Amino acid sequence: MKRIAKHILIVLTAICAATTAQAQESQSSGVSRGSRTRPGRTETQQSAAPGVSARMQQHLGASSEASDADTRWMRVIYRELDLEKEDKNAPLYFPEEIIDGNENLFRIIMRLYAANQIPVYEYLDGREIFTDQYRAKVDETLRRFEINFTPSKNFSDKNPVVEIDEYDVPASQVLTYYIIERWRFDNRTNSMRTTVEAICPVLHRLNAFGASEKTPIGWIRMDDLRPYLKAQYVFTDDDNNLPRYTYDDFFTLGLYKGDIYKTRNLRNRTMAQLYSDPDDLKRAQDSIQNRLDHYADNLWVPTREEIAAARLRADSIAAAADTLNVVAPAAERPTRAKSSSRTSSRSKARTSKVKKEPKAKEAKPARSSATRSVRNRRK
């Protein structure tokens, strides 16, 4: 018994010594075997609660913008939002006047710009440079577009704060907006993401010849404008008078509608410069929009069920086409035409036949008087 107890004690001592040595080694090296932290990510990022959407992160103030490393494909699109022709863009124009604290988008922009709370950058021909060098001054911009204003008491070059009466804001003349979209395929979520980067109000005024012309005011970055757009609700449906979306939701969810007038290209040309014919321009715009809408769908390999459904659909279409080609509709079957053609052919055949004339009877030779006399003599 003493020998057995001695052997058990020796084994326990060895196990304790090995465990102690392993713990000291792990502490000295600073490596934890149970750690599942991925390279390039901190423990706080790993321990973040899953299920937090990108929109929730945006509202909480976290940056949800994908980096270039997570981007597989990207394209920059320029759109023109017409407030007169498209009903979907009506929330950007109405109400024309301030009603119960509700104001349209241009009034919000002018109120913030007059208070020097948002920067406006110059509208360059085909270029967008959002730097302090191209930042437009408030007083110069208002004078250029003939908008009446009054400098505040603390007005200076560093703090150009002005006051604009609400009746002097030309909200009814802003009938178009230019926006810059960035379409990006995100590898993290395997989905297409669309963000509006900048917006430009466009004035519609009559020139010296009495014709309407468009005058862009300047570019405003949506990152500068977004905190204020979240506080303003808009009506998007006439059936439901309860405002459910803000201006930020209106652009984030893509509730607007506009035509593509330019894409970022090497020659920096607009769609109208590339396609002079209106029909070619429309086809090019539809082709670009179709590629944007279905880019993510073309990346996936179809399943067996999808392939079988596509084959069945193709076979049904081919069978329907064959039946249409072989069997004509009842209204188009020439039944009466065939009977009439048969009667006409018979009548033609009858008329074509030549009536046979009756054969003329052969004239019997006339009996001579000599013969008669001989016969009479025989009698």
Q: Which residue has the higher pLDDT, 168 or 344?
A: 168
Percentage above 90 pLDDT, the chain: 50
Q: Give 80: exposed, middle or buried? Use CB within 10 Å, 0-12, 13-18, 19+.
A: middle
Q: Which range of residues forms the domain containing residue 245?
A: 77-268
255: amino acid identity, one letter: L
Amino acid found at 148: N
Distance CA 86, CA 63 (A): 33
Query: Worst-scoring range by mean pLDDT, 60-64, 269-273, 289-293?
Result: 60-64
Residue 363 lies in a domain: no
The reply to whether 122 falls in a domain is yes
Instruction: Give residues with Cβ within 8 angstroms of 72, minimum separation 6.
Output: 185, 186, 187
Domain membership of residue 110 (yes or no) is yes
Residue 372 lies in a domain: no
Please report the beta strands in 47-190, taking only residues with DSSP state E, as ranges in sequence order.
71-82, 150-151, 162-163, 174-186
Q: What is the pLDDT of residue 316?
A: 92
Report whether pLDDT(65) > 90: no
Task: State how many domains the chain has.
Answer: 1
The angle, 0 to 180 degrees and rounded to 10, between the axes of the packed helices 105-114 and 222-229 is: 110
With vertex at residue 275, the alpha carbon angle to CA 298 and CA 284, rounded to the nearest 5 degrees, is: 20
Q: Tell me what pLDDT residue 47 has.
A: 39
In-domain check, residue 353:
no
**Per the domain annotation, does 315 fall within a domain?**
no
User: Where residue 199 falls among pLDDT bands split at 50, 70, 90?
Assistant: very high
Whether 299 is in a domain gets the answer no
What would you report as the CA-atom Rg of the chain, rounded to the nearest whole angstrom?
45
Say if CB 212 and CB 206 are below 8 A apart: yes
Tokens of 336: 């009466």
Say if pTM beats, i.e. exceeds, 0.85. Answer: no
223 pLDDT higher than 90: yes
Q: How many CB atoms lie within 10 A of CB 177?
A: 22
| C-alpha dihedral sign at 67, 68, 72, 76 | positive
DSSP β-bridge partners for residue 213: 205
Task: Report how far residue 193's alpha carbon sits from residue 216's, in angstroms, rounded to the nearest whole number.
Answer: 27
Return the residue matching tokens 């019997």.
364
The average pLDDT across 352-369 equals: 52
Confidence (pLDDT) at 306: 85
> Which residue in this structure is represented by tokens 């107890």?
5
Residue that the structure tokens 């320029």 belong to = 78
Please report whether residue 14 resides in a domain.
no
Pairing of strands 71-82, 174-186: antiparallel
